Homo-oligomer: A and B are copies of this chain.
Amino acid sequence: MEQTSHKARRQREIETQREAILEATRQLARQNGWPKVSIRKIADIVQYTPPLIYEHFKNKEALLIELEAVGFGKLRRTLDEARQRSGDPVLQLVALAEAYWEWAFAHAELYQVMFNLEGVQATSPRETALREAGPAVTETLRQLVLFSGPLDELFFNWWAMCHGHVCLIMSGHLQGHRSAIRQALLSGTERFAQGLR
């Protein structure tokens, strides 16, 4: 049946369009920041007219939510990898913070859409999205804490430390102190981990 292959080919074309839209969106956000990202400009880049975007995404927010999920997935994998580069839990936790920091700035446009920073606004149910990146961290924390400590609290602490330092730079505050803040995050995380032994 070549009908099937036609349909399959068409299906791949659609998927290609979808990927192109997502990639164009990220490109625009990287180049000019999220506030200047518009459906019309995205359509321009992918060489179609605006209504085509709406065949792939219900609206602009749905596009952002998709990228948010992409971001959390990528971040999760990055953290999983980082955890496996050392055995000592203290070093692990610091390595996780370092990986978090590097990832955030290497994929700033994703990070911004994940946390509604710098002009992004998407109101989605994100409850699960954040937790998804947690297991690697939580497992490392577990090795640091005797008995069953308040793992949730400690996880929030670690996350807030990382996110907080990243945000201070991304929001434009302390622009000139990027490496100093990076150092503060790393040494702060180490002290945090040491204190849990």
Task: Give 16 new A-B contacts, CB below 8 A, not counting A116-B172, A126-B171, A157-B184.
Answer: A116-B119, A119-B119, A124-B172, A126-B172, A127-B175, A152-B184, A153-B187, A153-B188, A154-B184, A156-B168, A156-B177, A156-B181, A156-B185, A157-B188, A163-B164, A164-B165
**How many angstroms from the CA of A109 to the CA of B164 in the assembled complex?**
19
Q: How does the 8 Å CB contact mask read for A100-119 relative to B, with 1 for contact and 0 for none?
A: 00000000000000011111
**How many angstroms from the CA of A195 to the CA of B119 in the assembled complex?**
37
A185 / chain B contacts, CB cutoff of 8 Å: 156-157, 160
A115 / chain B contacts, CB cutoff of 8 Å: 167, 171, 173
CB distance from A26 to the nearest CB of B (A): 17
Interface residues on A, range: 35 or more
Would you call A120 an interface residue if the criterion is a C-beta within 8 Å of the partner chain's C-beta atoms?
yes
**How many angstroms from the CA of A196 to the CA of B172 in the assembled complex?**
29
| B173 adjacent to A129 (CB under 8 Å) | yes
| B130 adjacent to A174 (CB under 8 Å) | yes
- Residues of A12-55 at the interface with B, using a CB-CB cut-off of 8 Å, are 33-35
In the complex, what residue of chain B is closest to A130 when comparing beta carbons? B173
Would you call A146 an interface residue if the criterion is a C-beta within 8 Å of the partner chain's C-beta atoms?
no
Q: Is the interface of A mostly helix, strand, loop or mixed?
A: helix
A161 / chain B contacts, CB cutoff of 8 Å: 157, 160-161, 164
Copies held by the complex:
2
18 A-B pairs with CB atoms under 8 Å apart are A115-B167, A115-B173, A116-B172, A117-B117, A118-B121, A126-B172, A126-B173, A127-B175, A130-B168, A153-B188, A156-B180, A156-B188, A157-B184, A159-B168, A160-B161, A167-B167, A192-B192, A194-B195
CB distance from A101 to the nearest CB of B (A): 11
A177 / chain B contacts, CB cutoff of 8 Å: 156
**How many angstroms from the CA of A147 to the CA of B195 in the assembled complex?**
21
